[in-house]
Homo-oligomer: A and B are copies of this chain.
C-alpha cells in the first residue's frame, strides 16, 4: 500500500497539463481507483490492518465456504503460488482455517473461523461506511449509474466464452 503524501511544496507543479489523457476513460478510471485505494488505506488499512486485496479475499472465502486455494487464486486473478503466503497470513491471524478435504487429500477447504466471521463483519461495516463517504459527492442515483456503467465496462472482459482460450 502506497503511503499518501500531501500536496507538494512546489507551487509551480500545480498546473501540469495532461494533454490527450484528459479525454481518456482509462486515465480517469485509474485516478478514481487510486483515490479509492487511498481512502481505504486511510480508514480501513490503518485501523484494521487489511488491504483492499485482503478484504476481498476474506469476502470470497466467507461467501464461498470450503473453496480451494486454487479456486481462490482464480477468483483473485493471481497465480496459485501467490496465494500461499496470503492464506498463511490469514491463518496466522486466526481469521481462516485450512480444513483438509474429505474427498481429495491434495486439497484444502478454506473456511472462516468464528473470530474471522466477527472480524469480517466489523470490517465490512467500516468498508461500507467508507465506501459511502467516498461517494458522498454523488447522489444515490448517480452512484447507481456509476456502478452500472462500470459493470458494463468490465463485463466485456469476463464474458469471453469459457471454451475459448486466448
Contacts and interface: CB of A to CB of B under 8 A. Distances in A.
Contacts of A29: 29, 32-33, 36, 150
Interface residues of A, number: 75
The quantity of this chain's copies bound in the complex is 2
A60 B6 contact: no
Contact of A146 (B25, B52, B124): B25
Interface of A: 2, 4-8, 10-14, 16-21, 23-40, 52, 56, 59-60, 62-64, 67, 70-71, 74-75, 77, 124, 127-128, 131, 134-138, 142-143, 145-147, 149-154, 156-157, 160, 162, 164-166
Contacts of A137: 152-153, 156
A93 to B, nearest CB: 19
B131 A24 contact: yes
B64 A162 contact: no
Contacts of A165: 6-7
Contacts of A5: 77
Contacts of A150: 28-29, 31-32, 146
B26 A131 contact: yes
Given A13-B71, A135-B153, A149-B146, A26 B36 contact: yes
Contacts of A127: 20, 24, 26
Contacts of A60: 16-19
A140 to B, nearest CB: 11
B142 A149 contact: yes
Contacts of A33: 29-30, 32-33
